[in-house]
Amino acid sequence: MTTKTSTLQRFTFQPGNMSRYDLLFGRVPSSPMNAVVPSCTSSTNLDGGYLLVWLSRSHAGGVALRFDGHFVPCAGYMTEKMGKMLDGDANALLGFLRTQGIQTHIDGDHWTDCGQYMPLGGAAEFDAACNVVGIV
């Protein structure tokens, strides 16, 4: 029998929408039931995937999403799987996934490709690694 392990890291993500997200994120082994995972862009992946946990309940509990690494998650998929969640929170979590190199589809205005919320009149320039390189 082969045992695969998971490695999760803990992050505090502050995207600029006046929220702080306590997150666990990392690679996980594939599920034995992993056939086709529905998403905004469906595919099949037997190599495992990712686990995102938002510790939204006093940093001790919350909601989780395991997803295939070969599809593009979107806000609708996240809110369906993670339960009641504001669109802003879903977009912020998608922005976090972008900072980890995951391609996502962020809905709505004011969200940068690096997952930072920029209200009207505010903007920042980011390099390819999502580091702030200037304010415009």
Using one digit for the tens of pLDDT, what is the confidence trace for 94-107? Answer: 888 888 888 887 77
H-type helices in 47-103, by residue range?
75-82, 87-99
Question: Quick check: 127 pLDDT over 70?
Answer: no
What pLDDT score was predicted for residue 71? 72
Element holding 127 (H helix, E strand): none
In sequence order, which residues have a C-beta less than 8 Å from that of residue 113 and are 6 or more positions away? 98, 126, 130
3-state secondary structure of 2: coil
Q: How far is CA 115 from CA 1, 62, 80, in A?
A: 40, 21, 20
Question: Quick check: 20 pLDDT over 60?
Answer: yes
Dist. CA 134–CA 136, nearest whole Å: 7
Using one digit for the tens of pLDDT, what is the confidence trace for 56-98? Answer: 888 888 889 888 777 778 888 888 888 878 878 888 888 888 8
Dist. CA 29–CA 13, nearest whole Å: 24
Higher pLDDT, 55 or 125: 55
What pLDDT score was predicted for residue 55? 93
What pLDDT score was predicted for residue 130? 58
State the pTM of this model: 0.73
Using one digit for the tens of pLDDT, what is the confidence trace for 29-45? Answer: 876 655 544 545 444 44
Find where tokens 């929408």 sit.
17
**pLDDT band of 122, cuts 50, 70, 90:** low
| 31, amino acid identity | S
Domain boundaries, the chain: 7-135
Higher pLDDT, 5 or 24: 24
Q: How many CB atoms lie within 10 A of CB 24?
A: 15
